[in-house]
A = this chain, B = another copy of it.
């Protein structure tokens, strides 16, 4: 299992062994792996060597440590990777604007055909629809609509107002598996142009994101409309 005579470092061999188990799906997202001491005993190496292997996997996003509890297989994170493009709050702060988010509406509606298909639920099933306006220095910059199936999770408006949807999802025991996102230029429709205070037909950026859970089911569909005249996506590569 581990070859002590190999020129490959021990920690690296352990790292690969663990990574394989995860990639093959033998160890599922959210499940606890052996403790550091157990690994050390099993592979007949010191605990620090096991820690080095695990550290690398934590850095690569494969594992998550919880002090006092253990080490767990990560749900695949999207937040960091999306950040560069979609974390409006961070983005605005970095540019010296005051970001704000206004909850426009929070309601349960019945899924139409398109939504039902995207979320893999039946037509007319209930979904939460969360509409927010994103502001920079009080100026509306984008409309963001998030849709989540009701049967998946019990959402409270109060929590939406302050915290992250994703933390509520993890509390409910779900883990995000992957997401895909698309971005395209388009033209403002009437309802959007009013909220964004731009002319109908003005250029806008559409961003759509679909997020999937480890269960294989979709968690959410997010639809964002950014005004094209004021909002520039800036991506700084300064380190």
Contact = CB atoms under 8 A, between A and B. Distances in A.
Interface string A220-239: 00000010110111111111
Interface string A101-124: 000000000000000000000000
A181 B233 CA distance: 8
Interface in A191-239: 203-205, 226, 228-229, 231-239
B84 A180 contact: no
A81 B186 contact: no
Interface of A: 55, 59, 61-62, 74, 76-78, 81-82, 84-85, 178-187, 203-205, 226, 228-229, 231-239
30 contacts: A76-B237, A76-B238, A77-B239, A81-B237, A82-B235, A85-B85, A85-B235, A178-B238, A180-B235, A181-B234, A181-B235, A181-B237, A182-B234, A183-B205, A183-B232, A183-B233, A184-B205, A184-B228, A184-B229, A184-B232, A184-B233, A185-B185, A185-B205, A185-B226, A185-B228, A186-B228, A187-B203, A203-B203, A203-B204, A205-B205
